[in-house]
Amino acid sequence: MSVVTPDWVKHAVFYEIFPDRFGRSGHQRQGSVQCPIWEDWQSQPTLQGYKGGDLWGVLERLDYLQDLGVTALYFTPIFQSACNHRYHTHDYFQVDPLLGGNSALEALLKAAHARQIKIVLDGVFNHASRGFFFFNDILENGAYSPWLDWFKIEGWPLAPYRGDLPANYVSWDNYRALPQFNHDNPEVQAYLFEVAEFWIRFGIDGWRLDVPYEVKTPGFWQAFRQRVKALNPQAYIVGEVWGDAQPWLGGSQFDGVMNYQFTGPTLAFVAGDRVLPELVEATAYEAFPAIDASIYGAKMQTLLQRHPWDIQLTQFNLLASHDTARLLSIAQGDRSSVELATLLLFTFPGAPCIYYGDEVGLPGGLDPDNRRVFPELSQWDAEILAVHRRLIELRHQHIALRLGRYEVLVASGGHYIFIRRHPDEVLMVAVNVETEVGQIRFSQSQAGISVTDSVVLYGNPRCESFADKDGVVELAGRSGCILGCQGS
């Protein structure tokens, strides 16, 4: 079957926001949440405490995001909940009043769209929460509840809070706070599709789907796609799939996945032995042990051959998220690892995503430390921010970085060179992850390019061409470059 994916995603730069931690506005909240007591904004985050960030606070920082070059925002859940991360949904039709309610989202959408910035929301459709009305009715009325078949009840009594008793219902990862929907029930399907359609009509530009692989009902995600795309054919549907995503990326379900298959090898290559094992060994991506350029190149080529090209161009590429430690901490504070990984992120096929604060050098270990508040200006790392600004600018300027084919030229030791080739231009990206100066030799004739009159777009390389059609790119240790090349 032919694969059709949203065109705008192929040109997008995403920015992930954890709403409670990005910006706290002074906007008046409504009703009983006017004067809550927040944790101190600058204190270390806790698993259960609220910092008080809201959607009005995001709206106040749209100028910053636009100036950075961001064109799309992905929000972790924003619907009414009783936890700071809001994966415990209470009401799928209400933005959490602590975040400003539906009116705040409406205002944010209007302001973002005026700046040509898209908004993608997190859809938690595998499970609800103990506070979700339909499950709470079962807790109150037991076998008499009309919604008994909405969930997977296995026995009585239910024990949603007592760990010393069997829960007697299926929950995500055996976590009692998250009762799992019975997706085989047509009423559940109708409800969840209605939620998806409601917010698309409201004006959002797509859905990121939480743990979609947990939904085993045949045809569920195909029907989800049909319902969403019928309202907005350009809506983006991206799944949280950490491993091989082939079952979901044939064109009938998702437009892309969170591309952790890019993340892990990229960290293992650029950070290498600097990776702090305890921050990555429990994750579902392979950022440890260190790998060399030959292994990295092979992994990238395998990844790119796995899916149709239009799917590759709408993959959601990332270096960190709310589910991982931050790269700066994983690499034990090594700035060069951040810069090299960011270079590879913004030159790889697919839509790059920045986890809020990474662009200014925000550190963070495992949850909840990876969900610190966005730092004050005085705490920004100006060099890391400059790297992000320049790479975002280049991605917007050069179509080869968005649509060009990816061809590996050199992959040996700590040296890696690849081409992004488009009919309108050819760019070369070279990386030296070793600590010493590297002279990377490659075949210009094989690549079909010449670096004789190449234009340096990023980095400080020294380039030479030879009569035997070879070329050399010389790079300082732990550095990379982007060259605009001529066809040979």
Beta bridge pairs of residue 206? 236
Residue by residue, DSSP assigns 250-282 as SSSS-SEEB-HHHHHHHHHHHTGGGS-GGGTTT
- Alpha-carbon span 231 to 223, nearest angstrom: 13
Q: How far apart are the first and last CA of the chain?
A: 37
For 124, list phi and psi in degrees, rounded to 5.
Answer: -100, 85
Contact 95, 199 (CB under 8 A): no
Q: How many CA atoms lie within 13 A of 325 on its CB side?
A: 24
Contact 119, 75 (CB under 8 A): yes
By residue count, the chain amounts to 488
Q: How many CB atoms sit inside 10 A of residue 80's CB? A: 22
- Alpha-carbon span 57 to 100, nearest angstrom: 10
- The number of helix segments (H) and strand segments (E) in the chain equals 15, 18
Going by the DSSP 8-state scheme, the letter that residue 406 receives in this structure is: E
Q: Indicate which residue of 96, 210, 292, 334 is catalytic.
A: 210
Q: Which H or E run includes 481? A: strand 479-487
Whether 240 is a known active-site residue: answer yes
Whether 210 is a known active-site residue: answer yes
Helix 220-231 to helix 186-202 angle (10° resolution) is 30
- Alpha-carbon span 162 to 164, nearest angstrom: 5
Q: Is 41 helix (H, G, I), strand (E, B) or coil?
A: coil
Region of residue 84 (left: phi > 0; alpha: psi -120 to 50; beta: else):
alpha
Q: Indicate which residue of 16, 20, 54, 240 is catalytic.
A: 240
- Active-site amino acid positions: 210, 240
